[in-house]
Amino acid sequence: MRSRVLTTIAAVITLVAASASTAAAAEPRVAKALWNCVASVDDPHQSHTNAQRVNVHADFKSCTRSMPEFQIDLWLYQDGVEVARDEVSGLNKRKARVVANMAPQENVWFAYQAAAEFSISEGSEIFVLRLESRTRQVCIGDNCPPQPDPDSGRLAATRR
């Protein structure tokens, strides 16, 4: 289900190696503290705990050191419109998770996408990373019609 491995790897390198800078022409600076956290956002999917909801997770995990201060903001979009948002923040943790979910109209296919912004603060420096999921078609219900093929406009085969 979590197929963002290559993006996640790139996210780790970006988060650890570069910090946000307010100067327009400034080069990214190497972070003084390395947490080696994995930042990930999965693709929107039918909830495994409540089959009537679509949800998405964003995680900080596998940190080698506690994050002094962190925040994760997560947005879920349905057909390009924000339908759910959640956030989590804390101090001195090695992992964190936030979940955004919603109950959609049943038996209708919708295109879902998620975006997450991860930040770690230490002193006056803030390290920020933004990840986006792939767009994923999801239909919740027992009578979903065949899934539309976004490339051809024809109906695609579906698995049940």
Q: pLDDT digit string (tens) for 59-89?
A: 999 888 899 999 999 999 999 999 999 999 9
Bridge partners of 69, per DSSP, are: 91, 121
Please report the domains of the chain, with CATH numbers, ordered by start residue: 5-138 (2.60.40)
Take residue 100 and report the two structure tokens written for it. 């955004």
Tell me the Ramachandran region of residue 5: left when phi exceeds 0, alpha when psi lies from -120 to 50, beta otherwise: alpha
Select the more confidently predicted residue: 28 or 118: 118
Q: Is the pTM of this model over 0.85?
A: no
pLDDT reading at 123 higher than 70: yes
Q: Calculate mean pLDDT across residues 18-26.
A: 37
Note the pLDDT of residue 151.
Answer: 60
DSSP H/E element including 44: none
The answer to whether residue 91 scores a pLDDT higher than 70 is: yes
* Predicted confidence band of residue 34 (pLDDT cuts 50, 70, 90): low
